């Protein structure tokens, strides 16, 4: 755990520390947490030789809860108010932000809004840059599964405050004001290379998401389309691990002495 503003934040580390090697910082999805990365961090550390650091945002995993409802700006708030301080507390020296879904959006917002020379690249899995109808439909279906199916019981195995985790995410996305959410302006301000992994059968977003980054970003952008849904790290694990490992090694061949 680390503590910020009196709130406890769950963290985990795999591989070498930040004084020995670069770090891959994992930013989880809207219903994720440290535990829901499963075996991926260990595989990533083994494949790259780098450290891997993950944390559960407030309201998730075993981190302390947050008040509900979450504001529509919650991803902007995380990027502006929390992520840099978490990197400070973890002693991160040079890193790639590896974000999944909401975590990918937070990574893009941070790199596009904060000049942090520790961040050398972004690896974004199933990123959201604007709202698509397909995404809102899937999130509405998730609410039904939570209220009438077994989704709540399954998530409760991983989140101490499961209603905070689910309703904070679900309520914000289904707020009518969220339809105007759009962070493509942040993409034009990113100054580090970006790798995007997008599943071709993603129920939460289409290939229009990575394509908009290719169109508006001035930084180098690589996109890998995969035979996967919303979690390529689990649904196309070999291809995802290979793409991120190759990207990370190329980044740090440039930056490391």
Enter the tokens of residue 45. Answer: 């550390």
Q: Note the pLDDT tens digit of each residue in 83-125.
A: 999 999 999 999 999 999 999 999 999 999 999 999 999 999 9
CA 24/CA 30 separation, integer angstroms: 19
Residue 191: band (very low, low, confident or very high) from pLDDT cuts 50, 70, 90: very high
| Predicted local distance difference test score (pLDDT) of residue 98 | 98
| pLDDT > 80? residue 35 | yes
257, pLDDT greater than 60: no
- Total domain count, the chain: 1
Tokens found for residue 186: 């942040």
Q: Give pLDDT, residue 208.
A: 98
Across the range 233-254, mean pLDDT stands at 96
Predicted confidence (pLDDT) at residue 175 exceeds the cutoff of 70: yes
| CA distance linking residue 52 with residue 203, whole number of Å | 28
| Structure confidence at residue 253 (pLDDT) | 86
Q: How far is CA 70 from the centre of its chain?
A: 17
Q: Decide if pLDDT at 182 tops 60.
A: yes
Residue 2 has a pLDDT of 96
SS3 sequence, the chain?
Answer: CEEECCEEECEEEECCCCCCCCEEEEECCCCCCCHHHCCHHHHHHHHHCCEEEEECCCCCCCCCCCCCCCCCCHHHHHHHHHHHHHHHHHCCCCEEEEEECHHHHHHHHHHHHCCCCCEEEEEEECCCCECCHHHHHHHHHHHHHHHHCCHHHHHCCCCCCHHHHHHHHHHHHHCHHHHHCECHHHHCCCCCCEEEEEECCCCCCCCHHHHHHHHHCCCCEEEEEECCCCCHHHHCHHHHHHHHHHHHHHHHHHHCC
CATH of the domain at 79: 3.40.50.1820
Mean pLDDT, rounded, for 213-219 = 97
Task: Report pLDDT for 255.
Answer: 58
pLDDT for 141 beyond 60: yes
Q: Predicted confidence band at 24 (pLDDT cuts at 50, 70, 90)?
A: very high
Residue 3: pLDDT over 60: yes
pLDDT of the residue at 205: 96
Strands 11-14 and 51-55: antiparallel
Report the chain's mean pLDDT, rounded to a whole number: 97
Report residue 208 as tokens.
Answer: 């229009």
Range of the domain at 190: 2-255
> 234: which 2 tokens?
């689990």
């Amino acid at each position: 755990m680390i503590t910020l503003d009196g709130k406890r934040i769950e963290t985990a580390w795999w591989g070498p520390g930040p004084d020995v090697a670069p770090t891959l910082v994992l930013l989880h999805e809207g219903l994720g947490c440290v535990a829901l990365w499963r075996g991926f961090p260990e595989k990533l550390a083994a494949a790259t030789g780098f450290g891997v650091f993950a944390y559960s945002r407030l309201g998730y995993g075993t981190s302390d809860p947050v008040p509900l409802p979450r504001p529509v700006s919650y991803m902007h708030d995380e990027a502006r108010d929390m992520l840099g301080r978490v990197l400070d507390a973890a002693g991160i020296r040079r890193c790639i932000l590896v974000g999944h879904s909401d975590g990918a959006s937070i990574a893009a917002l941070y790199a596009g809004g904060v000049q942090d020379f520790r961040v050398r690249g972004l690896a974004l899995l199933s990123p959201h840059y604007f709202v698509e109808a397909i995404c809102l439909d899937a999130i509405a279906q998730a609410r039904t599964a939570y209220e009438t199916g077994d989704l709540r019981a399954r998530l409760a195995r991983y989140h101490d405050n499961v209603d905070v985790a689910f309703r904070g995410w679900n309520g914000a996305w289904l707020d009518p004001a969220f339809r105007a959410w759009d962070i493509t302006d942040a993409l034009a301000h990113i100054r580090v290379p970006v790798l995007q992994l997008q599943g071709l059968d993603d129920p939460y977003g289409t290939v229009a998401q990575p394509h908009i980054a290719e169109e508006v970003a001035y930084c180098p952008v690589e996109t890998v389309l995969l035979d996967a849904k919303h979690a390529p790290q689990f649904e196309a694990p070999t291809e995802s691990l290979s793409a991120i490992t190759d990207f990370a090694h190329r980044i740090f061949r440039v930056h490391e002495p």
